[in-house]
Structure 1
Amino acid sequence: MLDVLTLDQLRIFVTVAESGSFRAGAARLSRVQSAVSHAIANLEAELGLALFDRAGHRPVLTAEGQALLSNARDILLRVDAMRARARGLGEGIELDLSLTVDTLFPISAVGAALAEMRAAYPTVSIRLAVEPLGGPIMSLIEKRSVLVIVVGEDFRDPRIALEAIASVEQVAVVSAGHPLALRQAGGAVGLPDLADHLQIVLSDPTPLSRDRMFGVLSPQTCSVTSQDAKHAMILAGLGWGRLPFWQVARDLAEGRLVRLATGALGRNSQVAAEAYLAHRIDEPFGPAAAAFSQALKRQLGT
């Protein structure tokens, strides 16, 4: 009867298959060989199948044994995962870590910190969103995330605690073939020049920036919903705009983009914005969130 299969039988089956013999399997399990042979024989009787061909010097998996080996491994993996999760719940470890990151922040640093956190807490699932402008703060207000990274000083809420962790440089750029790039070959460009051309800007998916404009200098704008779209539109020559230096460093070095030569957009067309790690005051970090926070600071050298 399949109902009387035990996890111990499955673990013995997998161990013998991986070890190559009953003797080696018994040694790995710290059991006598006769007990291991007996367990396999009982498992075969309950399944109604021969799992090993014992005709040779060493037992060899039969075709049926080979087919069922992956099922046995899968069952044991799921049981071990369940045990680990139960142990984590008993220790107060979160089931998942929900995180929203400002689109201006280098996502590679987030990925490295999450990988470090997962090494310590392998049972914690991750929900990661990347949003512009008011998105990260709104995700905390609406309790969609327990932890966010926000860039800049534009959004604040008394329910949110912030900790400065890094500085993000933004550069005003335009495609090398854009009229503004050709125009500045003869000298610096001014605000009237910028206003004559389309500015690529991010749109806020939240109501937090209603009736507010952030760095918009041209009456002609193209609103996009992601930083990648903004980057692509500027590269295509559609217009000009600010982008994080980490995102455009290679484009600048290889000549696809150029800095806008104007003092109206910061020294060397570059401005710095502070990045903050933020969470709700009424929701302190769990162990996984705290581990991620420390890992991210190490990645950033703070």
Structure 2
Amino acid sequence: MLDALTLDQIRTFVAVAGSGSFRAGASHLSRAQSGVSTAVANLEAQLGLLLFDRSGHRPKLTPQGEAILADARDILLRVDAMRARARGFGEDVELDLSIAVDTLFPVTVAGLAIAAMRRLHPSVTIRLSVEPLGGPLQALIEKRATLAIMVGEDFRDPRVVFEALAPVHQVAVVAPGHPLATLGSERQVEVSDIANHLQIVLADPTAQSQGRDFGVISPQTCRVNTQDAKHALIVTGVGWGRLPLWRVREDLESGRLVRLATKSLGRRSQLESESYLARRLDEPFGPAARSFVNALNLLVADRRA
């Protein structure tokens, strides 16, 4: 009987479980509710299991249904990946390529990879967005981006695959006239000292980090929506914060900014995170995307050498 299972039945089961009712599942699939109910009932009969408890106002997954749901989602992900790979083999060059880049990653490196790709595919239109925190992942989920460059391990989704690229370093910095800089010239700065001063932090424009804060130490915060704003406020002495080393290297060399003299925020006040190339499992890379990825990997390999 299991050989008679169909992808339609599995997709219908997942849609009903995800939407919370047969009516909502039918609406999501643009199908009649009776057809959805029949597909799920046939799946239950073929599996010999009751997937939903229908005794209440809304259908509720049984313990067996919960277990089967995980398998069903995994099957659909693998099927979508197979279809995406098959489409990619015979695909023409894309008309456009959308890329979302984490604000912590040097956009100049992405730009060099784009330039290398366009030498091979000059007709491709590029859409590039630079987004903080959960922005690049959200762009992939919403299909606003074909691929994304993300930094760190805080944002993950089973629909997205990740490939490590290169480390990105962030440095805790402050303007030389700030009280924390003055204190740091006398002794090691402690966390209790840092917490007494305003911290400049990036705000997440998505719901990906709802209820969570990353690297926030001070109860006094100023939240900004761009890395440029964060940099400007730190340089002008409003507060302290972490910024990518590639962005503040010249500021540190010229003395416009100084590292916080503390061992509480990493050695030399420096934190290392991995950057990742991310893409949807069900979206194939066309020739232009593959060219971009190849160029990007060569560039980050050269930077590591």
Structure 2: how far apart are the matches of 1:97 and 1:284?
12
Structure 2: how far apart are the matches of 1:91 and 1:152?
32
> After superposition, what is the alpha-carbon deviation per residue over 1:81-112, rounded to whole angstroms, capped at 9, x for unaligned?
xxxxxxxxx96110000000000000110111
- Retained in 1: the 8 A contact 2:93–2:287? yes
Identity value in percent: 61
Structure 2 equivalent of residue 276 of structure 1: 276
Structure 1 equivalent of residue 115 of structure 2: 115
Structure 1 equivalent of residue 257 of structure 2: 257
Report 1:210-221 matches (<5 A): 210-221=210-221
Tell me which amino acid in the other structure corresponds to 1:222.
Answer: C
- C-alpha displacement at 1:227, in angstroms? 0.8
- C-alpha displacement at 1:228, in angstroms? 1.0
Structure 2: how far apart are the matches of 1:189 and 1:237?
17
Structure 2: how far apart are the matches of 1:161 and 1:195?
37
Structure 1: how far apart are the matches of 2:278 and 2:153?
13
Report 1:137-286 matches (<5 A): 137-286=137-286
Structure 2: how far apart are the matches of 1:187 and 1:136?
40
Structure 2: how far apart are the matches of 1:215 and 1:301?
28
The CA RMSD measured in Å over matched residues stands at 1.0
> After superposition, what is the alpha-carbon deviation per residue over 1:120-175, rounded to whole angstroms, capped at 9, x for unaligned?
00000000000000000000000000100000010000000100011000000000
Deviating 4+ runs (over 2 angstroms): none
Tell me which amino acid in the other structure corresponds to 1:243.
Answer: L
SS at match of 1:209: coil
> After superposition, what is the alpha-carbon deviation per residue over 1:193-235, rounded to whole angstroms, capped at 9, x for unaligned?
1111000000000001000010000000000001111111100
Structure 1: how far apart are the matches of 2:204 and 2:293?
26
Structure 2: how far apart are the matches of 1:153 and 1:261?
27
> After superposition, what is the alpha-carbon deviation per residue over 1:37-84, rounded to whole angstroms, capped at 9, x for unaligned?
xxxxxxxxxxxxxxxxxxxxxxxxxxxxxxxxxxxxxxxxxxxxxxxx
Structure 1: how far apart are the matches of 2:260 and 2:158?
37
- C-alpha displacement at 1:263, in angstroms? 1.1
Structure 2: how far apart are the matches of 1:217 and 1:262?
13
Tell me which amino acid in the other structure corresponds to 2:196.
Answer: D
Structure 1: how far apart are the matches of 2:239 and 2:282?
43
SS at match of 1:117: helix
SS at match of 2:185: helix
- Retained in 1: the 8 A contact 2:91–2:286? no
> After superposition, what is the alpha-carbon deviation per residue over 1:248-298, rounded to whole angstroms, capped at 9, x for unaligned?
000001111000011110011001000000000000211000000000111
Structure 2: how far apart are the matches of 1:106 and 1:159?
25
Larger radius of gyration: 1
Please, which runs of 5 or more residues in structure 2 have no aligned partner? Answer: 1-89
SS at match of 1:163: strand
Structure 1: how far apart are the matches of 2:244 and 2:123?
34
Structure 2 equivalent of residue 36 of structure 1: none
Tell me which amino acid in the other structure corresponds to 2:145.
Answer: S
TM-score normalised by structure 2 residue count: 0.69
